[in-house]
A and B are shown apart, each in its own frame.
Chain A
Amino acid sequence: MLTSIKTNEFAGNKGKELGMMYFRVAVILFGAQLLMGLIAAIQFLAPGFLFELFDFSVARMVHINALVVWMLYAMIGSVYFMLSDETGHEGVAIGLGKLAFWVLTLAVTVVVLVYIFIQVGPGKESTIWLINEGREYIEAPRWADIGIVVVVLIFYWNVFATYMKGQKTGIMTVMIADLLALAGLYLAGMFFTDNISMDQFWWWWVIHLWVEATWEVFVGTLAAYALIKIIGAKREIVEMWLWIEVLMLFGSGILGLGHHYFWIGTPEYWWEIGALFSALEPVPLVAMFVHVLYDWGKEQGIAKAEGKSGSVMNNGPAMAWIVTNAFGNFLGAGIWGFFHTLPQVNIYTHGSQFTAAHGHLAFFGAYATILIGMFYMGVQYAYGVKVLRSTFKSKMGIFLVTFGVVGMTVALTIAGYEQVLVERAELGGGWSAFFAAQELPWFVQAMVWRAIMGVVTFVGFVYLVWDLLTIGKQAKAAQEA
């Protein structure tokens, strides 16, 4: 992945080259995310660790911001990567796109340095403009918000103008519409209000309508593209599935927003709306799961009937991650989401470790997986490899990362149950109830397991990066030999 910069083997496709630039930064930020998660996890066990130097709030803020930013990088990279395949054009202004990439990367670097070294500011408007906005996931200070909007406008214009110039596939049409909604939603998180209910009302517009509507549709689109590329799925079938997915995802996800409006000062009618619409959100995730596995089996069957031996996949590791995505999305978002989405349950689970269990498995299963699959597609292209097969390192990477995240999720789920029953149901919440539950052995043990599984995840990540850096070169050498 790295040497591809020097050897410049892109066969001159500038759009894909730009996509790879985004992928590289995404991988680095992913690593930073995991390190910060480990610090925060250790602080649960040894609260004196880095106390008043690098507090939990700082580690956690960088953890979840790096998460959101690496995913957005990988998403932008994926769009640039697929652009020429879908439209038949490389991108109208890739040079400008590159400039935007450097501006964004510089801004992200400055923001992270300020988070790490300045951390907090006085209670003044200037803090919100320059240091951090203190709103979970979208802490980026206002100056960076404005910068992000400008960069995203350049990106969007690039994609849109290319789309208008080239052929208009169903996949690209969905992508263009979805990106507009995704970018527009960011604006809902860019203002200050003294009213905490109003604040959280709009905050959820960004967070929920991203992860449970626009990002999900993005993933559906990406999976459609990848299935065509990797296993040669039929475009008409894939695109029909895509429209069905859009229908179900938006049909349930948009009003499913109500499951965050149960307890923040908003009216009681959201109980019914949030419960029943979000309860349907897992349905499209089942459909996506079936779709990926069905298409894979079908293409394999066709190949066999035609007398071809071996696999239909031209990219083993990418396909492995996409299949993991099908499982992970369904489990993390669908099952773990449904667990706590009814108000009768959520009144007890709201804001407990249970939420964290769901957050981890959902973000990993629904997004990290498929985006890592895209990294492998990038490597395959960069080295001009016809068939990329999994190596030992690819297998260790996917196994350990997935096992680690599932392990953390199980630990957090147990911690969550304990917290819900003891702190919430039995003791009724409040300061003393909180600490009573945090100190019970079951909770502490779960936190130890979370930290252990976090280390497993990190080791898997090391294998993953090592593989990404070497697999392309090896496969190319093997192909030429």
Chain B
Amino acid sequence: MFGLIEPFTDVNHSFFGMLNQGPLTLTIFLHTIIILPMFWIYFSEKKRLNK
């Protein structure tokens, strides 16, 4: 759709290359796994501060 999903074209196959086929899927994936655990850090810090 709209050319956002592309067939695999790179020279070699790899995990990151596969993720790279969709609409910014690779970078969204990487950003998400970096940011998500910060929620946990936030809530655990909140708990600690409330004590």
**Is any CB of A less than 8 Å from a CB of B in the complex?**
yes
Using a CB–CB distance below 8 Å, which chain A residues touch chain B?
251, 255, 267-269, 271-273, 275-277
Q: Verify A269–B30 contact, CB threshold 8 A.
A: no
Chain B's closest residue to A268 (CB) is B10
Kindly provide the distance from the CB of A254 to the nearest chain B CB, expressed in whole angstroms: 10
Name the CB-closest residue of B to A279.
Answer: B27
A277 touches B27 (CB 8 A): yes
A107 to B16, CA, bound (A): 44
1/0 per residue, CB under 8 A from A, across B8-23: the answer is: 0111101011011000
| A272 and B26 within 8 A (CB) | yes
Contact, CB under 8 Å: A267 / B12:
yes
Contact B10 A251 (CB under 8 A): no
- Is A251 within 8 A of B14, CB to CB? no
Structural contact, A276 and B31, CB atoms closer than 8 A: yes
B24 within 8 A of A: yes
Residues from chain A with Cβ under 8 Å of B12 in the complex: 267
Task: Check: B1 CB closer than 8 A to any chain A CB.
Answer: no
With A267-B10, A267-B11, A267-B14: A272-B31 Cβ-Cβ less than 8 Å: no
Instruction: Check B34 against A272 for contact (C-beta < 8 Å).
Output: no
Whether B10 pairs with A273 at a CB distance below 8 angstroms is no
B17/A269 in contact, CB under 8 A? yes
Q: Flag if B11 contacts A273 (CB, 8 Å).
A: no
Q: Which residue of B lies closest to A274 (CB)?
A: B27
Q: Verify B26–A269 contact, CB threshold 8 A.
A: yes
Looking at the assembled complex, report how far the CB atom of A451 sits from the nearest CB atom of chain B, in whole angstroms: 41
Q: Which of A251, A267, A268, A275 contacts B27 (CB 8 A)?
A: A275
Question: With contacts A251-B34, A255-B30, A276-B31 known, is A269 near B24, CB below 8 A?
Answer: no
Residue of A nearest to B14 (CB): A267
Residues of A within 8 A of B19 (CB): 269
A269 touches B16 (CB 8 A): yes
Measured between C-beta atoms, what is the minimum distance from B38 to chain A in Å? Answer: 9
B11 to chain A minimum Cβ distance, whole angstroms, is: 7
**List of A residues within 8 angstroms of B16 by Cβ:** 267, 269, 273
- Asked if A273 and B17 sit within 8 Å, CB to CB, the answer is no
Q: Which residues of B contact A251 (CB under 8 A)?
A: 34
Q: Which of chain A's residues have a CB closer than 8 A to the CB of B34?
A: 251
Residue of B nearest to A271 (CB): B20
Cα(A273)–Cα(B24), bound, Å: 9
Q: How far is the CA of A272 from the CA of B30 in the complex (A)?
A: 10
Which residues of B have CB within 8 Å of A255? 30
Q: A268-B10, A269-B16, A277-B27 are in contact. List 17 more A-B contacts (CB 8 A).
A: A251-B34, A267-B10, A267-B12, A267-B14, A268-B9, A269-B14, A269-B19, A269-B20, A269-B26, A271-B20, A272-B20, A273-B26, A273-B30, A275-B27, A276-B27, A276-B31, A277-B30
Query: Quick one: closest A residue to B28, CB to CB?
Result: A276
**Do residues A267 and B17 form an inter-chain contact, with CB atoms below 8 A?**
yes
Chain A residue contacts of B31, Cβ below 8 A: 276
A478 → chain B closest CB, angstroms: 50
A271 CB to nearest B CB, Å:
8
